[in-house]
């Protein structure tokens, strides 16, 4: 399908990338290219257990190792308990550095800044922690059950799931599912699951925190959100924004994996404590095992479908595995809930979206947060419905597709709709023959 005929001078043109020459000549400067005089390197001592109380933490042997500039633990963090979504009213639930308990294998406990990476790692290995193991739960379906061991015991925050206005799940109640399902010609159910995924950009997360002579802290960062991470660091270490400066803006791939501030607050703390620039480059192993990842999602569908393929009622139970802490999952569940019924006009929709904790690596945003998971379930369910009713998979989608002016389950009115047009464009590009009726459809016309 041809691009629009609207005439612009520059918009709509495939001009060369403004920063492309730096990439092809190797001149582009990424955070790991930066070094500063006296710079220290970071290593983190992490929990080897999925769930345990911390009885005793001893960093003294690490502090005494020659070449170590600073060691930080929960004692050094002015506002240790934090959350990424406190601005949206989500209660803080995660310590920057563990104090009372550890809730996942890899949870950060104490960090070391030393003259080189080998010394930093050696120092981190000299940190001693005494644990009392606690029961751990890994399966979100188990975690949701009555009587499941608590995933987190410290801070008295939340049961094993996030509370949405006191309820165990995000709810969407649109139309009247219970009444409509009685009128359906067919009731078709399906259960789907997407697994955890690591963003795996080629550049790992890196930051360098540099204490400046004027008392400010400059942090060079791979963050996807300079102001967001700056605000996070400032609040964790108790500095006003005016004393913090974030420098970045050139990142070697993100995909949502460079948002959660994995390195910056730590390098910031170590820089403030040691008085020296501190760098932390996540190893590839740390990216895989200890950074935020896309969480697994478990989705259950119950659909009321008419003989002609129209879905008149849809109920979804969606369970997001948040790992040990919130990070951005409560928000992701909202987004998932808003789109879990699909790009289809369904007049009766019931959604229960759960954000569930487990004693695993915390999960967070990744490309298509909530919609990636939903799309898998919706579209496999759609084909299963089509096959069961003997309706062509293209046809069933055309029949249910949103049109301009349709209302969504969140009560939004859609004013710019083009699902049908993308289906027609894809069919044409693939050489698939649609019927004349299908080719003549338009999102701008109300359905027949």
Partner 1 sequence: MKQRGRGIAVLEYPTGMNQGGDPSQAYVKLKPDGTVDLMIGTVELGEGARTVMAQMCAETLGVPYESIVVRNEDTDTSPLDTGTFASRATFMNGNAIRKAASEARKLLLDVAGKELEAAPEDLEVVNGEVRVKGAPERKKRISEIAAAAIYGHNTFIAGSGAFLKPLAPIDEETGAVDAAATVAWGTVIAEVEVDTETGIVTVERMTCAYDVGQAINPALVQGQIEGGAVMGISSALFENLYPYYPSTEHQAARFGELQLITAADVPELRTAIVEEPAPNGPFGAKGVGEMTANAQGAAIVNAIYDAVGVWITELPVTPEKVLRALEAKQQARESAPRG
Partner 2 sequence: MSVATTPAAQTELVVSFTLNGRPVQVRTRALDSVLAVLREQLQIGSVRVGCNEGDCGVCTVLLDGEPHRGCLLPAFVAEGREITTVEGLGDVNQLHPLQRAFHEHFASQCGFCTPGMILTAKSLLDRSPAPSREEIVAAISGNLCRCTGYRSIIRAIESVAQQGGR
- State the residues that interact with partner 2 by CB under 8 A: 14, 16-17, 19-30, 32-33, 35, 118, 121-122, 200-204, 251-253, 255, 281, 283-284
Q: Which does 118 bind (CB under 5 to 8 A by kind): partner 1, partner 2, none?
A: partner 2
Of residues 294 and 339, the one with the C-beta less far from partner 2:
294
Print burial letters for 187-203: b (CB count within 10 Å at least 16), e (below 16).
Answer: ebebebebeebbbebeb
Residue 59 buriedness (CB in 10 A; 0-12 / 13-18 / 19+): buried
Of residues 184 and 423, the one with the C-beta less far from partner 1:
423
Q: Which of 33, 35, 191, 435 binds partner 1 (CB under 8 A)?
A: 191
**Footprint of partner 1 on residues 246-275 (CB under 8 A)?**
246-256, 259
Radius of gyration of the chain (CA): 25
Please report whether residue 378 would count as binding partner 1 according to CB under 8 A: yes
Cα–Cα distance list, 97 to 80, 138, 263, 272, 433 (Å): 7, 22, 12, 16, 59
Of residues 262 and 337, the one with the C-beta less far from partner 1:
337
Q: How would you classify residue 215: left for phi > 0, otherwise alpha for psi between -120 and 50, otherwise beta? A: left
Q: Quote the crossing angle between the two packed helices 393-400 and 419-430, to the nearest 10°.
A: 160
Cβ atoms of 171 and 351 within 8 Å: the answer is: yes
Q: Which does 138 bind (CB under 5 to 8 A by kind): partner 1, partner 2, none?
A: partner 1
Please report whether residue 154 would count as binding partner 1 according to CB under 8 A: no
Q: Which of 100, 116, 227, 445 binds partner 1 (CB under 8 A)?
A: 227
Least CB distance to partner 1 at residue 314 (A): 13
**Footprint of partner 1 on residues 25-64 (CB under 8 A)?**
50
Window of 69-77, 124-132, 148-156, 392-400 that interacts with partner 1 by CB under 8 A: 392-400
Please report whether residue 75 would count as binding partner 1 according to CB under 8 A: no
**Dist. CA 383–CA 393, nearest whole Å:** 6
Residue showing tokens 């390195």: 263
Of residues 154 and 414, the one with the C-beta less far from partner 1:
414
Cα 284 → chain centroid: 19
Q: Which does 409 bind (CB under 5 to 8 A by kind): partner 1, partner 2, none?
A: partner 1
Of residues 33 and 307, the one with the C-beta less far from partner 2:
33
Phi/psi at 70 (5° precision): -165, 150
């Amino acid at each position: 399908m041809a691009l629009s005929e609207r005439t612009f001078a520059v918009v709509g043109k495939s001009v060369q990338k403004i920063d492309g020459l730096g990439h092809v000549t190797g001149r582009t400067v990424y955070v790991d290219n930066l070094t500063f005089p006296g710079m220290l390197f970071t290593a983190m001592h992490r929990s080897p257990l999925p769930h345990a109380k911390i009885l005793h933490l001893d960093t003294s042997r690490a502090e005494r190792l020659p070449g170590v500039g600073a060691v930080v633990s929960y004692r050094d963090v002015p506002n240790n308990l934090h959350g990424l979504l406190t601005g949206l009213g989500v209660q803080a639930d995660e310590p920057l550095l563990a104090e009372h308990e550890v809730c996942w294998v890899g949870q950060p406990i104490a960090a070391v800044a030393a003259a080189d990476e080998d010394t930093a790692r050696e120092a981190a290995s000299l940190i001693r922690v005494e644990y009392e193991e606690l029961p751990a739960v890994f399966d979100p379906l188990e975690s949701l059950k009555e009587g499941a061991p608590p995933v987190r015991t410290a801070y008295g925050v939340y049961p094993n799931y996030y509370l949405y206005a006191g309820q165990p799940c995000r709810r969407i109640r649109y139309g009247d599912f219970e009444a409509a399902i009685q009128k359906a010609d067919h009731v078709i159910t399906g259960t789907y699951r997407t697994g955890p995924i690591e963003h795996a950009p080629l550049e790992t997360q890196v930051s360098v925190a540099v204490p400046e002579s004027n008392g400010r802290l400059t942090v060079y960062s791979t963050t996807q959100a300079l102001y967001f991470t700056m605000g996070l660091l400032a609040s964790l270490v108790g500095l006003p924004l005016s004393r913090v400066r974030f420098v970045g803006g050139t990142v070697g791939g993100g995909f949502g994996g460079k948002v959660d501030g994995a390195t910056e607050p730590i390098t910031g703390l170590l820089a403030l404590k040691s008085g020296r620039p501190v760098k932390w480059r996540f190893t590839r192993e740390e990216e895989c095992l200890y950074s935020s990842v896309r969480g697994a999602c478990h989705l259950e569908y119950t659909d009321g479908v008419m003989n002609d393929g129209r879905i008149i009622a849809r109920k979804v139970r969606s369970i997001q595995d948040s790992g040990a802490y919130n990070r951005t999952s409560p928000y992701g569940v909202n987004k998932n809930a808003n789109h879990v019924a699909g790009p289809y006009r369904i007049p009766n929709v019931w959604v229960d979206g759960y954000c569930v904790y487990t004693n695993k690596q915390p999960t967070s945003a990744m490309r298509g947060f909530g919609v990636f998971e939903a799309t898998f379930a919706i579209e496999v369910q759609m084909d299963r419905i089509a096959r069961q009713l003997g309706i062509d998979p293209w046809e069933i989608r055309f029949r249910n597709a949103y049109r301009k002016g349709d209302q969504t389950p969140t009560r939004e009115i859609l004013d710019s709709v083009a699902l049908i047009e993308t289906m027609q464009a894809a069919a044409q590009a693939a050489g698939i023959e649609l019927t004349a009726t299908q080719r003549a459809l338009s999102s701008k016309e109300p359905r027949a």
